[in-house]
A = this chain, B = another copy of it.
Amino acid sequence: MKSRSNGQNPSSQRILDTAEQLAQRRGFNGFSYADIAEQLAVTKASVHYHFPSKADLGVRLIARYHETFAGALAKIDATVDDEADKLRRYIALYDEVIAHDRMCLCGMFAAEYSTLPEPMQVALRAFFDANEVWLASVLESGRQSGRVIVRESARARARMLVDVLEGAMLVARAYGDLARFRSAAEFALAELGVGVRA
């Protein structure tokens, strides 16, 4: 039945790990099959066996990133009640990315959007949509519980929150300055009446 890798076995995972790191640091147009093969000490042909085309690889990269992110959000929902805490935990997800000297995979791909195969563009928007939905839900809940200040549309504020975090990562990376990202994140939280620490 399985005459071809489905991207779930160990080899495929290692390839995705390596490609993800490269994509987050150099962009989708900034790395090649040769780069992946070199880091894993295999041949380009071997990588092509698991991911026939770069478009396939790109779609799987976004899908896995999305799944991992969604899992992290589900864990927050399962372990945290306070909406302010949820927002802090959300920002910590971004913090960990830039702390590892990476850009958000989807923020990176957003820059290259017009050069991407259409399936990747669709998957990319799905990622941002999911972030927006989750954040809007937390903000709405926070407004009702009185733990978060949201004067305007929760949905619009959710979008703006994603925007500032992506932008802060983008610019901070040019300065190699993690503190710069944290400062912007702190401001974004403060506007919601949420302190950096509980």
What residues make up the interface of A, taking CB atoms closer than 8 Å to B? 25-27, 29-30, 103, 107-108, 110-115, 121, 124-125, 128, 152, 156-157, 159-160, 162-168, 170-175, 180, 183-184, 187-188, 191
Residue of B nearest to A170 (CB): B110
Are A25's CB and B171's CB within 8 A? no
Q: Which residues of B contact A164 (CB under 8 A)?
A: 160, 163-164, 167-168, 184
Q: Give Cα distance in the complex from A107 to B165, angstroms.
A: 14
| Contact of A29 (CB < 8 Å), options: B27, B114, B157 | B27
Rounded to whole Å, the gap between the CB of A25 and the closest CB of chain B is 6
Contact partners of A103 in chain B: CB under 8 A? 111
Partner of A174, one of B29, B30, B128, B172: B128
* 25 A-B residue pairings within 8 Å (CB atoms): A26-B112, A26-B115, A27-B111, A27-B112, A30-B115, A107-B167, A107-B170, A108-B111, A110-B173, A124-B174, A125-B174, A128-B174, A152-B187, A156-B187, A159-B171, A159-B183, A160-B168, A160-B183, A162-B171, A163-B171, A164-B164, A164-B168, A166-B171, A167-B167, A167-B170
Are A110 and B171 neighbours in the complex by a CB distance under 8 Å?
yes
Closest 9 CB pairs of A and B: A167-B167, A111-B111, A163-B167, A163-B168, A166-B167, A164-B164, A29-B29, A30-B115, A160-B184
Which of B29, B159, B173 is within 8 Å of A113, CB to CB? B173
Q: How many copies of the polypeptide does the oligomer hold? A: 2
From the candidates B26, B27, B29, B187, name the one contacting A160 in the complex (CB within 8 A).
Answer: B187
Q: Is the CB of B115 within 8 A of A27?
A: yes
Smallest Cβ distance from A174 to chain B, in angstroms? 5
Q: Please give, as numbers and ranges, the residues of chain B lying within 8 Å of A30 by CB-CB distance.
A: 29, 112, 114-115
